[in-house]
Amino acid sequence: HQLSLKRFIGRYLNNAQDIEDFTQEAFLRAYKAEQTTCVQQPKSFLFRIAKNVAISQLRTAAAQQAGAF
């Protein structure tokens, strides 16, 4: 699922390094969550995590830009 996840994250982020980093972060978070939770639909779960990670990054970047002005 790595390539499709990178494409998905690429919808939110433009920087290739950020896409790589957040793809890895999504996999790590999904792995950690799966250790304590029964995941019924792993692919959907992984993509939901990736979306949340990307949105968090966008919020952080926007807040930093707003503080710069």
- Whether 67 shows a pLDDT value over 80: the answer reads no
Tens of pLDDT, residues 5-26: 999 999 988 899 999 999 999 9
Quick check: 26 and 9 in contact, CB under 8 A? yes
Q: Other C-beta atoms within 10 Å of 26: how many?
A: 26
pLDDT digits (tens, 9 = 90+) for 27-42: 999 999 999 999 999 9
Residue 68 has pLDDT above 70, yes or no: no
Nearest to 19 by CA among 33, 5, 1: 5
Residue 69 has pLDDT above 70, yes or no: no
* 65 — pLDDT class (breaks 50, 70, 90): confident
